[in-house]
Structure 1
Amino acid sequence: MLILNILIKIIFSNIVFANVLHTRNDETTNNESDEKYIMGKGEIIIGHETNKPPMSYYDDNGMLTGFEVEFAETVSSKLGIDIIFKEIEWKRKEEELNSYIIDCVWNSLTVTEERRTIYEFTRSYINNRQVVVIRRSDASKYPDAKSLIGAKMSAGQGTTGEQALLGDPILSQSDYTPSASQNDMVIDLRNGLYDAVVIGCVLAKGFIFNDKSDLMIIDNIQLQEEQYAVGFRHGSDMVVRINDVFLDMILDGSLTTLSKKYNLYDLYSPLIITDSGYIMSKGKMIIGFQGNVPPMSYYDDDDRLIGFDVDFAKAVCHELGIEAEFKIIFWDNKDIELKNRNIDCIWNALTVTEERRSIMKFSHIYISNSQIIMIRKSDASKYTNLESLSNATLAANAGSTGEEAIKNNVYLSQGAIV
């Protein structure tokens, strides 16, 4: 009777667990937005393999660190959500992803055409290549690919390193044994179990610190190049949100700084894009403007947007071979619109100030302007100088240099500002 009760409890528990999983999957799959799912729970669960220096590893204090770890932490911080790193078995990564156990794979994941049918990839952040690593003491024995015919070689099972090795007409003639763990594989290489291994250059850098290390790369063996990206569920719209943060980190230089910290700049630098490159690659420039600000921007009788700034911007974009797209913005939010990349520039009677220089990068000055005070002609005798306006009702555009001029003037600031 006791055994029967235990069995009933086990069966019931499994049914409940299965129902919970089924309900969770129904909720997420029925909700088309993966972004809403991840942002709604306020955390992103990242699947990774541990001990993959310099990408993810535990330091001397037992803290998880590395290029990808710091990269992911920065991105999640900018998104305002928590981050959870979950150790996964590499061969089960797709299963864990599609079961919503993890939200993405962020761990030296190579972009391949086959994987594009399984994952939704972010912008690539590392330009990697597969390399052949040997013991430095064997440098004269294995100088090139031909010398490795019949040699004991290994690569990570299911990795692009394995594909590169087996797909190479010369290296495929080696005595090949797949390895379940790339870290263990390198240890086996050091211990003499293998003569050479194929591994990504990024991971090789984690084991080869300088030209005195016990391991080395055979430089004249050129294998396939590849790129690393973050893999989300296929069709995930979270990729768009992540790419926005990626782009900010590329353009502000913070990703460059991080790559240099982990000696990966040479593999990251080919993917660097400038603000110019970003705009030109889109084929258009999104220009923020206030709307009706004649003669700079306004709508004519035929409801066409014209004006000095408008025609000027169109002419420049024409010379660049890109489209000019105009977007009306709330002037007080212009800095936010620019920072969030909703617009590419503000081209609408924008005054250059020292304060704004700390926020924006200005083009060459094209108009020398001044702030003036306009009154009704009938009040000409009433308002003859600044002091006479100290009790007047004054108006200026919110966030404009006109508003700043009023606030900073000893007389005008005493008036009522609307």
Structure 2
Amino acid sequence: MLTILWAGSGHAEETLMVGVLADNPPMVFRDADTKFVGYDVDVLQEVGRRIGKTMQFKVINWDQKTEELNGKQIDVIASGLSITEERKKIYAFTDPVVQKYTQMLIVNTASPIKARDDLGGKTVCVMEGASAGELVQDFRSASGQTAKVQTAPTMEGCLIQLTAGETDSAVMDGVTCEYYIKHNPGQFRIVPGALSKRQTAFALRLEDRALLGTFNDALKAMEADGTMKRLRERWLGDIN
């Protein structure tokens, strides 16, 4: 399991361990030098600078993120984490860092699937532990056939299944779909129509109220001075 410790880290009490996915562009991913980059990375680095903490990034099994957080193996969950009512019961969410985060269907370019209704009786891959799984249950054809959920440990794993013809479609974040389409020309396309629109934030333990307050103070200051706008424009374009 890869961890990246950024330069300038101090004592353990000055470090926050952030649990992330390794393949969630443009939120969190690795560049050619295996260094973590992306929108969430830049936002957290700036938050850390303002609150006097070093952010250490650790790749986690997304399906085990809650156990990692409550077991104090990590202190923060990042990687485009959607805010849902169920998750509010188990996490202390920071203020939103993305206001309009869509989830989309991606298929192979040559696929006959043109709309969500075409997925009745077909397979849809979702990442283990992702909130997208609940959406697939509503996919059904005019004849009433429902879609079948297939899982993979990572988003990239779903795309590998899709490329190999092992699944008919995959659900993932819209900005991630666009990233993979751009970097794999001719391979994939998005099925029209957003499946959901949600906000994303960072998640802390419910009991870490003081830390949550410092995070939100930093995020508010970053909104006020234009830092968040600059980072959104750099990584997310015009989605926010």
Out of 181, 191, 195, the residue aligned to residue 164 of structure 2 is 191
* Residues 107-122 of structure 1: pairs in structure 2 closer than 5 A: 107-122=79-94
Is residue 45 of structure 2 the alignment partner of residue 68 of structure 1?
Answer: no
What's the CA shift string for 1:325-365, capped at 9, x where partnerless?
xxxxxxxxxxxxxxxxxxxxxxxxxxxxxxxxxxxxxxxxx
Counterpart code for 1:158: G
Offset of residue 235 of structure 1: 3.4
Which structure has the larger Rg?
A: 1
User: Would the aligned equivalents of 1:166 and 1:172 in 2 still touch at CA under 8 Å?
Assistant: no
CA distance in 1, matches of 2:15, 2:183: 38
Structure 1's consecutive aligned runs of 4 or more residues displaced over 3 angstroms after TM superposition are: 167-172, 210-213
Alpha carbons 2:27, 2:79 under 8 Å: kept: yes
CA contact (8 A) 2:48 2:54 kept: yes
One of 170, 176, 180 as aligned partner of 1:207: 180
Q: 1:84 to 1:211 in 2, by over 3 A?
A: closer
Tell me whether 1:44 sits opposite 2:16 in the alignment.
yes
Deviation, 1:73, is 0.9
When the two structures are aligned, how many residues end up with a matched partner?
226
Matched residues in 1 for 2:225 and 2:159: separation?
A: 36
What residue in structure 1 maps to residue 74 of structure 2?
A: 102
Identity %: 23
Alignment of 1:2-401 (within 5 A): 41-126=13-98, 127-138=100-111, 141-170=112-141, 173-209=146-182, 212-219=185-192, 221-237=193-209, 238-262=211-235, 264-267=236-239, 269=240
TM-score (norm 2): 0.86
C-alpha separation in 2, matches of 1:122 and 1:42: 19
**Residues 56, 203 of structure 1: alpha-carbon distance in 2 compared, 3 angstrom cutoff:** same
For 1:179 and 1:245, how far apart are their aligned partners in 2?
Answer: 35
The 2-side partners of 1:185 and 1:101 are apart by: 27
Distance in 2 between residues matched to 1:116 and 1:181, nearest whole Å: 23
Shift of the alpha carbon at 1:211? 10
What is the CA RMSD across the aligned residues, in angstroms?
2.2
The offset of 1:233, in angstroms, is 0.3
Gap regions ≥5 residues in structure 1: 1-38, 270-418
Contiguous gaps of at least 5 residues in structure 2: 1-10
Aligned-pair distance for 1:169?
4.5
* Distance of 2:12 and 2:23 partners within structure 1: 31
Higher-RCO chain (CA-CA 8 Å, sequence separation at least 6)? 2
Query: What is the TM-score normalised by the length of structure 1?
Result: 0.51
- Secondary structure of the residue that 1:57 maps to in structure 2? strand
